[in-house]
Amino acid sequence: MPASVKQMMEAANAVVPKVTPAQAREMIAKGDTLVVDVRDAAEVANSGKVPGAVNVSRGMLEFRADPDSPSHDKAFDKARTVIVYCASGGRSALSGKVLKDFGFANVFNLGAFKDWVESGGAVDKA
């Protein structure tokens, strides 16, 4: 069992593949892809999010993803492809590993929201 953040990140990065913004756009365009923004609500309010992304703060992810939880979000379907992102890529890597541990097979880490923006990705500021 990992005993440090560094070890947790290494374990997460070993099982959750990174995708570029261009690859993420292709996956989203194919449909049936859940995009999850794991930043806190205040961060999303300040910068916006990937259009169509579901904002679930890192601390609530397990509760939203678990179908047996009273807080389950039906958007979390294990048959869907899932792309996670955050501010810098750390929380999204850890989130991706949690989803993999929960049985989600197709989970990818987009990494930093700023990379999405800098690559010309659309932003929903609503």
Cβ pair 2, 14 in contact under 8 A: no
- Tens digit of each residue's pLDDT (9 = 90 or more) over 73-102: 999 999 999 999 999 999 999 999 999 999
Spatial CA neighbour of 86 closest among 33, 38, 34 = 38
Q: Is the pTM of the predicted complex or chain greater than 0.75? A: yes
- 5-9, 36-40, 46-50, 64-68: segment of lowest average pLDDT: 5-9
Whichever domain contains 36, its CATH number is 3.40.250.10
126 is a domain residue: no
75 is a domain residue: yes
Share above pLDDT 90 across residues of the chain, in percent, rounded to a whole number: 95
Strand order in 81-86's β-sheet?
Answer: 54-55, 33-37, 81-86, 107-112
Q: How far apart are CA 54 and CA 70, in angstroms?
A: 18
What local confidence, expressed as pLDDT, does residue 68 receive?
95
Where in the sequence is the domain holding 63, given as residue range(s)?
Answer: 5-116
What local confidence, expressed as pLDDT, does residue 19 receive?
98
| Count of the separate structural domains present in the chain | 1
